[in-house]
Every structure is written in C-alpha cells, then in structure tokens.
Amino acid sequence: MKVTIGGPLKVAFRPWVEGLENIPAEGPAILASNHLSFSDSFFLPAVLDRKVTFIAKAEYFTTPGVKGRLTAAFFKGVGQLPVDRSGARGAGEAAIKSGIDVLERGELFGIYPEGTRSPDGRLYRGKPGGLARVALATGAPVIPVAMIDTEKIQPPGKVMPKLMRPGIRIGEPLDFSRYQGMEHDRFVLRALTDEVMYEIMKLSGQEYVDMYATAAKRQIADAAKAEKDQAKKDQAKKDQAKKKADEERSGA
C-alpha cells in the first residue's frame, strides 16, 4: 500500500501532518480518529512509517467475480480486516476481537469511535463499546487523531477527487490504566470514550454533536424523504389546479 498508493497519494495531495512524534516507534497503540471520508483509511497510513490495521465490513472481501477479488486484494493490501456486520452485537464483538489480536502482536490498530462517517463534517458522539473495551483489555495507549478537510477532496456524488492538501493532527497518547479491570462498567466505557472524543474535538476544531452519527444520518434521510414527498404533493396540487382551470376554460 505504501509503495503503490501511499507514495503517489503524498505526492499528489501533499498532506500536512502535526504530531508524528506521538506515534511510538514500536509496540501496540490505538489510533482513534474522527471519520470524514473514505480516504481517511488511506491518508493516515500513508504518512506513517508503521503499518496501521483498520477494520472493514466483510462484504468488501467476499464479493464474487473478478471485481470482488480485486476489491478483496486491495483492502487486504491496505491493512483492512474483514468484520461481519450482519448483527449489531456480533459486529461489535468481532471488531473488539480483531483489535485485541492486532495489539497483542505489538502493532497499531486504527478505529473510528463514531462508528461511521460524519454526514455533515461535524464530530459526533463516540460509541463506547469497541474503543473502550479494546483499550482496557490490552492496556494499549490511545492516540487521538484528527483528519482535516478529507471530506472536501471527494464529496458525495463526485467522481473525480479535488486536488487539495488535507491535514492530520496526532495528539499525545492517553493512558487509561486507572480504569484497568473495569471494562464491564458502562459508565467507565462512556467516560473513556468521551475523553477521547474531547481530545479529537480539540485537535480537529469540529463542532461537537451529542448524538450518534448513525442517528444523524437517519434524521437527514428522513428529512430528505419528507421534503421529496412534500414536493410530490405540491406538484400534484398544481397539476390538479391546472386540470381544473383547463376544464373550466373548455366549459366556458
């Protein structure tokens, strides 16, 4: 990935980076990042000397045909692990196990606490399960990361990416050893996650929204559907009024 994608990516987009010294030269660490774009999983590994392993939905690895095999090879090459997301709890447990396995090998594990990409560029509430449980199970430090402007490179609906400089800010490692052995306490999981999200917010400068990004996406989709339905009703009324006017004119 670093040779075939990372090099050209850095040459073409010239991402700027702050805080590289906070990435340990060796040993396990969790990189907890905001999530603005599909390209986040490419830009972050491209600027680091070490390998970063993220998790990805299993469909990327199991799609049949030539395209499916190429997609699977690509995601394996960029350090993505397949996780079955068919069930909410099963997906969470699979992600946790994957993260623990990576960290026990002494590697870097990348995770997006929001659980999905931000629908509008704002920072949303972190999900307390995956990040907190992996951190407490392994004792690995959590390094907050802020991706800057990556959503502007290829907005939804755009095929060609815009050549511009995204940014990456890497914060100081966070030590949560004070919570060791408390991974089943939901209040501890919430507190740990909120602390990480606060650090990401400071690094990114994003507006924070105290709700999950998945809920925000549903609201946006519902609002768009309601607007579309209302437009159809308005058009139907106009058509009906026009028809009535035409009938009156023909009757006269």
pLDDT digits (tens, 9 = 90+) for 94-128: 778 889 999 999 999 999 999 889 999 999 999 98
C-beta contacts of 158-164 below 8 A and 24+ residues apart: 161/39, 163/12, 163/13, 164/13
Going by pLDDT thresholds of 50, 70 and 90, the confidence category of residue 251 is: low
DSSP 207: P
Beta bridge partner(s), residue 81: 55
Q: Is the pLDDT of residue 11 over 90?
A: no
Closest CA to 175 of 131, 138, 140, 145: 140
Angle (CA) 104-108-112 rounded to 5° is 110
- The span from the CA of 92 to the CA of 180, in Å, is 20
Confidence of residue 181 (pLDDT cuts 50, 70, 90): confident
pLDDT at 72 (0 to 100): 64
Q: Give the DSSP H/E element, type plus range, for residue 30.
A: strand 29-33
Q: What value does the mean pLDDT of the chain take?
A: 86
Q: What tokens does 167 get? A: 């940014």
- 214 half-sphere exposure, CB direction, 13 A CA radius: 8
The highest-confidence range among 26-35, 92-101, 128-137, 231-240, by mean pLDDT, is 26-35
164: CB partners within 8 A, 6+ apart: 13, 149, 152, 153
What burial letters (b/e) apply to 142-181, b meaning 16+ CB within 10 Å? bbbbbbbebbebeeeeeeeeeeeebebbbbeebebeebee
Per-residue confidence (pLDDT) for residue 85, from 0 to 100: 55
CA distances from 208 to 129, 172, 227 (A): 20, 20, 26
Q: Which fold has domain 5-209?
A: Glycerol-3-phosphate (1)-acyltransferase (3.40.1130)
> Where are any strands of DSSP class E within 171-245?
208-209
Q: Which two tokens stand for residue 222?
A: 């519902």
- In this model, does residue 55 exceed pLDDT 90? no
pLDDT (tens digit per residue) in 128-156: 888 999 999 999 999 999 999 999 997 76
Which tokens in the block code for residue 38? Answer: 């599909």
Q: Mean pLDDT throughout 150-177? A: 89
pLDDT, mean of residues 193-211: 97
